[in-house]
């Protein structure tokens, strides 16, 4: 595997020659590789290459750009198992989830390829005679993409493929925890035949690579997925130059379980939503809002099932929950456990690092459940990003929705009920970009918009046709063939 940047169609070391180490979070003594610790100089080289390539790439017909993305999807499918195994080694999610992550990238490639034959505009009937009017999409320029570690391929492709099919060129900075997954993606892009400079990869930290990307005047659109705190800083900096900026940020997602719900189904959803990807998803179910009539039974069953989850290396068969992504996450999650107990919540399961036997070799945290949580507690308000779920109670569907809405975030949500009327009211009243009925809060499909409201983002969406609006400009065209001056918007 290449352990370099990819700039202007060539694999290259960072110009300063510094590197950083990448280790397996399930076996922290296992070094996966060393990667370029790049800086602003490498960013400048990559942006210059992308800007040069944009001049010709924007003129490639969109269907042809789509055909190249179709080839990318085919090659990703051929290397799916290899990429999934590398992904599990470097960020920890269990292998079936890693395969799903790669499949998301494959699906996005094929979906974006199809958009190459659409990229629809609008044709309308003008208000004046002998005149035509229509709109079309135009590329913006160099797109800077800053992506997280929890979905190394899916999120990178959610951003990259719509940007490319719209005619932009790309610079990707992946999270430092997942350089290998990003490198394999770029090996596929190179093999698919994308022209030099159209896609560029620069490894490194947020301060040394991400900040120069945000500040670079030739990056015309910036797409970031990460914490709300960092997203706000990026928005402020982009606002100073009116750089287009798309932010997909934090979440504090809740699953409502009403008294008429299928409890077996709701329990499966809660376990998957809370502990899938070790709780390290922006859509993770970090709150369960339980109707008082079923709260005691549901809590007992949830704790019993969560206690039985098997922790371990995600490459091993039968493992349910992998490690957290790095050593720094252990104290960060443990601090919230302490906060919850200080505020009066009851810890009913877990609460600390798991260090028995082979688990001592990695960064594992026990599946953790709190009950007697009230809406104002910090564990009910703040994103923890780990395998911790807070249980709250409600007396009605309306109260449940009120509790669900009572945070700064609004990404994903879920309600379990057999009552169609209550489900429809919840869909209407929940303040979130995603609502599931009788399904968990996690999971997305590439042909539907993904994103949230309030402090979850700045109004843009990823996936589906909505992603095209991030990476294209609208141009309106008027053609007057009357042969005389016609004054629009004049009262006649």
Where in the sequence numbering do the catalytic residues fall? 248, 282
Residues 229, 409 contacting (CB under 8 angstroms): no
Strand pairing category for 142-146 and 27-36 = unpaired
Q: Report which DSSP code applies to 458.
A: S
Kind and range of the H or E run holding 220: strand 219-225
Rounded-to-integer distance, Cα 263 and Cα 485, Å: 70
Nearest to 8 by CA among 64, 51, 39, 38: 51
Rounded-to-integer distance, Cα 203 and Cα 6, Å: 9
Task: Walk across the sheet containing 219-225 and list its strands.
Answer: 10-12, 5-7, 199-201, 169-173, 142-146, 219-225, 244-248
Query: What's the CA angle centered on 411, arms 405 and 415, to 5 degrees?
Result: 60
Residues 327, 97 contacting (CB under 8 angstroms): no
What are the two backbone dihedrals, phi and then psi, of residue 82, each rounded to the nearest 5 degrees? -60, -50
Residues with Cβ within 8 Å of 362's Cβ and at least 6 positions away in sequence, in order, are 24, 25, 26, 27, 28, 92, 313, 323
Rounded-to-integer distance, Cα 333 and Cα 460, Å: 29
Residues with Cβ within 8 Å of 331's Cβ and at least 6 positions away in sequence, in order, are none
CA distances in angstroms from 174 to 119, 159, 237, 301, listed in the order given: 27, 12, 20, 39
Nearest to 223 by CA among 162, 264, 176: 162
Nearest to 115 by CA among 135, 133, 134, 137: 137
For residues 414, 415, 416, 417, the Cα torsion angle rounded to the nearest 10 degrees is: -160
Q: How far is CA 313 from the centre of its chain?
A: 23
Nearest to 273 by CA among 308, 249, 302: 302
The 3-state DSSP class for residue 55 equals: helix
Query: What's the CA angle centered on 441, arms 440 and 446, to 5 degrees?
Result: 105
């Amino acid at each position: 595997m290449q352990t370099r940047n990819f700039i202007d169609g060539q694999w290259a070391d960072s110009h300063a020659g510094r590197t950083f180490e990448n280790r397996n979070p399930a076996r922290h003594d296992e070094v996966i590789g060393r990667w370029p610790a790049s800086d602003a100089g490498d960013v400048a080289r990559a942006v210059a290459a992308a800007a040069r390539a944009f001049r010709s790439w924007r003129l490639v017909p969109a269907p042809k750009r789509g055909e190249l993305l179709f080839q990318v999807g085919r090659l990703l499918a051929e290397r799916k198992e290899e990429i999934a195994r590398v992904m599990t080694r470097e960020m920890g999610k269990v292998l079936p989830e890693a395969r799903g992550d790669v499949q998301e990238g494959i699906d996005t490639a094929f979906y974006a390829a199809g958009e190459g034959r659409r990229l629809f505009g609008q044709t309308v009937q003008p208000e004046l005679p002998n005149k035509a009017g229509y709109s079309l999409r135009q590329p913006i320029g160099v797109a800077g993409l800053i992506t997280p570690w929890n979905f190394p391929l899916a999120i990178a492709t959610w951003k990259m493929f719509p940007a490319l099919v719209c005619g932009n060129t790309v610079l990707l900075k992946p999270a430092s925890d997942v350089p290998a997954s990003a490198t394999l993606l770029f090996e596929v892009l190179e093999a698919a035949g994308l022209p030099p400079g159209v896609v560029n990869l620069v490894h490194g930290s947020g301060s040394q690579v991400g900040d120069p990307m945000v500040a670079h005047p030739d990056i015309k659109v910036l797409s970031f997925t990460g914490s709300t705190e960092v997203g706000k800083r990026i928005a402020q900096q982009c606002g100073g130059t009116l750089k287009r900026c798309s932010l997909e940020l934090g979440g504090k997602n809740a699953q409502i379980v009403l008294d008429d719900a299928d409890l077996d189904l709701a329990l499966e959803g809660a376990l998957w939503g809370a502990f899938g990807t070790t709780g390290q998803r922006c859509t993770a179910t970090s709150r369960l809002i339980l109707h008082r009539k079923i709260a005691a039974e549901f809590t007992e069953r949830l704790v019993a099932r969560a206690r039985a989850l098997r922790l371990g290396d995600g490459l091993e068969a039968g493992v349910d929950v992998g490690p957290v992504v790095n050593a720094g996450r252990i104290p960060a999650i443990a601090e919230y456990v302490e906060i919850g107990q200080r505020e009066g919540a009851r810890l009913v399961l877990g609460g600390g690092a798991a260090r028995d036997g082979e688990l001592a070799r990695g960064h594992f945290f026990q599946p953790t459940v709190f009950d007697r949580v009230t809406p104002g507690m910090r564990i009910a308000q703040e994103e923890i990003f780990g395998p911790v779920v807070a249980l709250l109670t409600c007396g009605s569907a309306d109260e449940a929705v009120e509790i669900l809405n009572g945070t700064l975030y609004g990404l994903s949500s879920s309600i379990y009920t057999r009552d169609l009327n209550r489900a429809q009211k919840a869909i209407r009243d929940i303040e979130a970009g995603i609502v599931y009925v009788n399904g968990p809060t996690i999971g997305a499909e590439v042909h539907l918009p993904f994103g949230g409201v309030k402090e979850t983002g700045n109004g843009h969406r990823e996936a589906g046709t909505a992603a095209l609006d991030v990476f294209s400009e609208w141009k309106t065209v008027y053609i007057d063939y009357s042969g005389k001056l016609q004054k629009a918007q004049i009262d006649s």
